[in-house]
């Protein structure tokens, strides 16, 4: 091979590899990682991607060069010269991929083992999935329940999943991992959030009519803010003052994800407008308080005309929380 040929090949390879590297690096394929586990997974992705880009550059260079250099004349219908195998080449193109795939396997195994290792001091949260809502219970906060997942930053988080009906899948893109929730078993997921902020929680398993609405938020806070919230909310939800605790229950449950309620600053339009509860109860010909209570515990018993059935899940709240929520909704809808 002449020097000029080698230079052409190297040039073509660098060009092809450069374009592939730019596509990989400059386009936002993945969200910015916000957990230690996602950071490690990102590392594995880049490890594999760089290997792929180098191989792509070599293959593309050989291919482009051959297409131009060994192009047959338009009227040349003759067969090419016969070729035999090349033992030296075959040894190399078996050995190198074997080493690369082994390296990818080893790096992945190390990352998986590290990601599964739960720290000694961790926060345990029980996650319940049902059509079509997430609920989070904090055993360290008197089993206080919330429709939003609030967690402290830089602390091991152990989620234990329960499904009340079908298979759902828990996913926070920035945390980098998914976990199916399967009825009858209780899988766990270990995450160490390392960025403060608000991240979407998405159900990524088609689970029925309301699948697309099965979303909520993970809010990562400083440890001090989290402790204050956990303490404040676990006392607020058992407070004897219905006006205060009803608002807290509304906020901690996923109601605002689907409904409008001016008093709570909620403006979603998936389900009926809770500002109009008095009017709906009249249309249904039921006393307002009973109407609201049934709509929470058995939402499909009566569905406001114009809204789909079987979208809202039944909510089995503790009695004091349910009473407070009903009172809060009665008061809020009259004011609204």
Chain residues that interact with ligand CUA, rule: CB under 6 A? 132, 168, 203, 205-207, 211, 214
Does residue 132 have a cis peptide bond before it, meaning omega lies within 30 degrees of 0? yes
Which residue number, 156 or 181, has a Cβ lying nearer to ligand CUA? 181
Shortest Å distance, C-beta 209 to ligand CUA: 10
Residue 191 φ then ψ, to 5°: -140, 140
Shortest Å distance, C-beta 264 to ligand CUA: 24
- Reading the block at residue 28, the tokens are 């936002």
Spatial distance between the Cα atoms of 309 and 49, rounded to a whole number of angstroms = 46
Residues 6+ apart with CB under 8 A from 257: 133, 147, 213, 215, 216, 268, 270
Shortest Å distance, C-beta 84 to ligand CUA: 57
Residue 82 φ then ψ, to 5°: -70, 140
Shortest Å distance, C-beta 204 to ligand CUA: 7
Spatial distance between the Cα atoms of 126 and 158, rounded to a whole number of angstroms = 8
Neighbours of 309 (CB within 10 A): 10
Q: Are 190 and 48 in contact (CB under 8 A)?
A: no
Which residue number, 12 or 214, has a Cβ lying nearer to ligand CUA? 214
Which residue number, 207 or 261, has a Cβ lying nearer to ligand CUA? 207
Shortest Å distance, C-beta 79 to ligand CUA: 58
Which residue number, 207 or 263, has a Cβ lying nearer to ligand CUA? 207
Which residue number, 164 or 276, has a Cβ lying nearer to ligand CUA? 164
Shortest Å distance, C-beta 212 to ligand CUA: 8
Q: Are 125 and 231 in contact (CB under 8 A)?
A: no
Which residue number, 132 or 199, has a Cβ lying nearer to ligand CUA? 132
Q: Are 289 and 326 in contact (CB under 8 A)?
A: yes
The DSSP annotation for 76-137 comes to --PPPPP----HHHHHHHHHHHHHHHHHHHHHHHHHHHHHH---SSEEEEEEEEETTEEEEE
Shortest Å distance, C-beta 132 to ligand CUA: 6
Which residue number, 216 or 333, has a Cβ lying nearer to ligand CUA? 216
Spatial distance between the Cα atoms of 304 and 125, rounded to a whole number of angstroms = 34
Spatial distance between the Cα atoms of 314 and 272, rounded to a whole number of angstroms = 15
Residues 253, 254, 258, CA angle at the centre, nearest 5°? 145
Which residue number, 36 or 211, has a Cβ lying nearer to ligand CUA? 211
Shortest Å distance, C-beta 316 to ligand CUA: 18
């Amino acid at each position: 091979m002449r020097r000029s040929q080698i230079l052409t090949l190297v040039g073509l390879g660098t060009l092809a590899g450069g374009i592939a590297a730019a596509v990989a690096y400059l386009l936002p394929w993945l969200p910015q990682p916000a957990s230690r586990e996602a950071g490690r997974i990102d590392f594995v992705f880049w490890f594999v991607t760089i290997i792929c880009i180098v191989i792509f550059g070599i293959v593309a260079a050989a291919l482009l060069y051959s297409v131009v250099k060994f192009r047959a004349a338009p009227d040349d219908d003759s067969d090419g010269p016969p070729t035999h195998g090349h033992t030296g080449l075959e040894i190399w193109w078996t050995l190198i991929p074997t080493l690369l795939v082994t390296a990818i396997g080893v790096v992945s195994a190390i990352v998986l083992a590290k990601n599964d290792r739960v720290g000694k001091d961790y926060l345990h949260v029980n996650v319940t999935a049902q059509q079509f809502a997430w609920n989070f219970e904090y055993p360290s906060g008197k089993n206080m329940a919330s429709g939003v997942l609030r967690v402290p930053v830089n602390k091991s988080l152990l989620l234990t999943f329960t499904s009340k009906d079908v298979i759902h899948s828990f996913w926070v893109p920035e945390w980098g991992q998914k976990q199916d929730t399967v009825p009858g078993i209780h899988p766990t997921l270990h995450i160490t959030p390392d960025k403060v902020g608000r991240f979407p929680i998405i159900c990524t398993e088609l689970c029925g009519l309301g699948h697309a609405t099965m979303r909520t938020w993970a809010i990562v806070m400083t440890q001090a803010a989290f402790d204050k919230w956990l303490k404040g909310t676990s006392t607020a939800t058992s407070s004897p003052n219905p006006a205060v605790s009803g608002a807290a229950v509304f906020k901690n449950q996923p109601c605002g994800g689907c409904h409008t309620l001016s008093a709570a600053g909620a403006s979603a339009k998936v389900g009926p407008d809770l500002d109009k509860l008095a009017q709906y109860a009249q249309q249904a010909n039921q006393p307002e308080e009973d109407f609201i209570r049934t709509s929470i515990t058995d939402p499909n018993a009566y569905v406001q005309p114009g809204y789909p059935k079987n979208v809202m899940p039944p909510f089995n709240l503790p009695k004091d929380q349910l009473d407070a929520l009903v009172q809060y909704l009665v008061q809020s809808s009259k004011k609204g």
